Amino acid sequence: MADSYESYSKDELIRLLRERDRRRAFGLVWERDRIEHDRSVNGDFVGLELDAALSQGEPPFDNLIIEGDNFDALRALRMSHAGRVKCIYIDPPYNTGNRDFIYNDRFVDRDDSYRHSQWLEFMYRRLELARELLAEDGSIWVSIDDNEVFHLALLMDQVFGERNRVATCIWQKAYAPKNSALHFSDDHEYVLVYALDRDVWRPNPMPRTAAQDKSYKNPDDDPRGLWKSSDLSARNPYSLGTYPITCPSGRVIPGPPEGRYWVVSEQKFRELDADNRIWWGKNGNNVPAFKRFLTEVKQGVVPQTLWKYEEVGHTQDAKKELLDVLQFADSAAVFSTPKPVRLMERILRIATNPGDLVLDFFAGSGTTAQALLKLNAEDGGARRFILVSNTEATADQPDKNLCRDVCAERVRRVMTGYTNRKGEPVPGLGGRFAYLRARRLPAETVFRDIRHDQVWLALQLIHGDRLTPFDPATEIQRLDLGTTRLLYVTAINDTTPVAVQAALDGAAQVIIHAWQSALLRQHLNDPRLIFEPIPAALINRFSTEMNR
């Protein structure tokens, strides 16, 4: 029974609190009070801006590529996509100390005494946001290597709960040993898998492979097709499982092997034999075996945690795939650690179904989108993606833009088609995406500085899954969502009430976002109308999400 703290004196409560403070909780602790504050963590409002020139295809856009700091992008997405993402995959910096991780605009090197704490703080802030985006039956998959895997697992336990840890998959990333290694050849990486709720999330079975079906034959030309034999005995005691069997050849088998039992009764055995489900061997003299037909076997197999390069590709495959699409003269200078498309396909096969939304907020070279588009082409699904990538510009390379020139360009070519390194045409997989940029707006200036296009984009993402550009030529932007209609009224004049009234035709509900919603409400009286003030509605929603 819980203590009745109301009856405790002040001194007793202070004593209990001090004892609690001294008691160290089990889990991950890092030096948050000793490292510099993460400058990405701030209270600014984040708006998204559409760049039509860098977008692919015609609107409405159902996929998004966001350029900017992923902390900013995640805050914007939490305002619009909380609880809607089925699968998150990320390939974060591994914090090797080899200029692969930037914290507060500077590379963290191996000699930095706080490099693990800085990395953990960086990841913690982003994983906390990511958790808010996952659907109830969603999962998150994180690639990592030995540099941080043990810290990351404890951090994921802290953010998602130890009970929601699903698996640690091993990816064999190398096809040959590195003989130059001092101690061991580094041949694998990890993919940590967590569910938002392990009791709700279920993986899809993996399709059967040709190798798994290879053992099925049909030596007796059974019209039911391919089959393989399986043992009719087992160790489990069975009261009806000890009887003699006479083979077609006349040989008598006195009973099952010592210490084992026939798995069916004698009567059931005779029924199976009459149905030609018992295999006696070509000469009718073998110990009987059960014929298991391929058509009766589950067509999917449970996912395994050991992923061999023959099945999902290796690092050299990944680099070749990237160069096949983009054909950079110096791939290492552009992006040196892509993942194989087959690796991402496996994750998406297990974690998604047609129509699901996938998020990758360390999108790198865009492999996740290529794998998703391939899977959609294969099964006709309509999975959608959101990719987030930074420019990775530095003082030495101020014009570098990884998001625009690598990530988005790769996805564009995969959608539209390209010529590979052999000069062969590769047909496009189809699709379209909106290219967006994340922009910070100081909280005190949002009312003054937020633009109509930023508002309209945010409203569409909150209420639906597709984007149309803002049309500056009209004062009322409109989006139909089934029987619900979304209106954004940028200015109110004498004709506005009439136009809004006309928009009610055929709609069960009309949501009106307006800068002067109270004024507009005075001229319209219909129970189907819902009025929301702008930008207050956006700011309130953004702030609410930040304080969840």
Distance, in Å, from the CA atom of 10 to the CA atom of 17, rounded to the nearest integer, reads: 11
pLDDT at residue 336 in the model: 67
Residue 390 lies in a domain: yes
User: How open is the CA angle 296-301-306, to the nearest 5 degrees?
Assistant: 155
Whether 93 is covered by a domain: the verdict is yes
181 and 233 housed in the same domain: no
Q: Is residue 363 part of a domain?
A: yes
Q: How high is the pLDDT of residue 20? A: 79
Q: Which of 280, 296, 312 corresponds to the end of one domain?
A: 296
Domain extent, residue 474, equals 438-546
Same domain, 71 and 145: yes
Q: Are residues 127 and 167 in the same domain?
A: yes
- Predicted confidence at residue 331, as pLDDT, reads 52
Assess whether 242 and 363 both reside in one domain: no
Q: CA neighbours within 13 Å on the CB side: how many for 24?
A: 4
Measure the CA–CA gap between 531 and 117, rounded to whole angstroms. 46
The per-residue pLDDT for 503 is 87
**Could you give the CA distance from residue 200 to residue 547 in angstroms, rounded to a whole number?**
26
- Answer yes or no: do 427 and 443 share one domain: no
Beta strands in 294-423 (DSSP E): 300-301, 306-307, 357-360, 384-389, 417-419
327 shares a domain with 180: yes
* Angle, CA 118 vertex, CA 24 and CA 98 arms, to 5°: 135
* Boundary-marking domain end, from 415, 431, 447: 431
369 occurs within a structural domain: yes
CA distance 165 to 437: 33
Burial zone of 252 (CB within 10 Å; 0-12 exposed, 13-18 middle, 19+ buried): exposed
Nearest-Å Rg of the Cα atoms of the chain is 30
Q: Is residue 133 part of a domain?
A: yes
Is residue 496 domain-resident?
yes
The rounded distance, in Å, linking the Cα atoms of 200 and 138 is 9
* Total number of domains in the chain: 3
- Three-state DSSP class for residue 288: coil
**Statement to judge: residues 202 and 327 lie in one domain:** yes
Domain-located, residue 36:
no
Question: Are residues 129 and 241 both part of a single domain?
Answer: no
Whole-Å CA distances, 290 to 281, 287, 295: 11, 10, 15
- Residue indicated by tokens 């023959």: 310
Q: Does 270 lie in the same domain as 242?
A: yes
Work out whether the CA dihedral 542, 543, 546, 548 comes out positive or negative. Answer: negative
Which parts of 82-148 fold into alpha helices (H)? 115-133
Is the four-CA dihedral 275, 277, 279, 282 of positive or negative sign? positive
Task: Verify that 290 and 311 share a domain, yes or no.
Answer: no
User: What pLDDT does 1 receive?
Assistant: 39
**Sequence-ordered list of residues with C-beta below 8 angstroms from that of 405, at least 6 positions apart, any chain:** 334
Give dist(CA 369, CA 63) in Å, integer: 9
> Which of 252, 273, 296 finishes a domain?
296
- CA 132 to mean position of chain CA atoms: 13
How many residues comprise the chain?
A: 548
- pTM of the complete model: 0.86
- With left for phi above 0 and alpha for psi between -120 and 50, is residue 104 left, alpha or beta? left
Distance set, CA 523 to CA 33, 239, 478, 487, 529 (Å): 56, 84, 19, 16, 12
| 273, 131: one domain | no
**pLDDT at res. 13:** 87
Do 246 and 383 have their domain in common?
A: no
Q: What parts of the chain have a pLDDT lower than 50?
A: 1, 548
For residues 268 and 548, give the distance between their C-alpha atoms in angstroms, rounded to a whole number. Answer: 61
Q: What is the CATH number of the domain that holds 316?
A: 3.40.50.150
Domain annotation covers residue 41: no
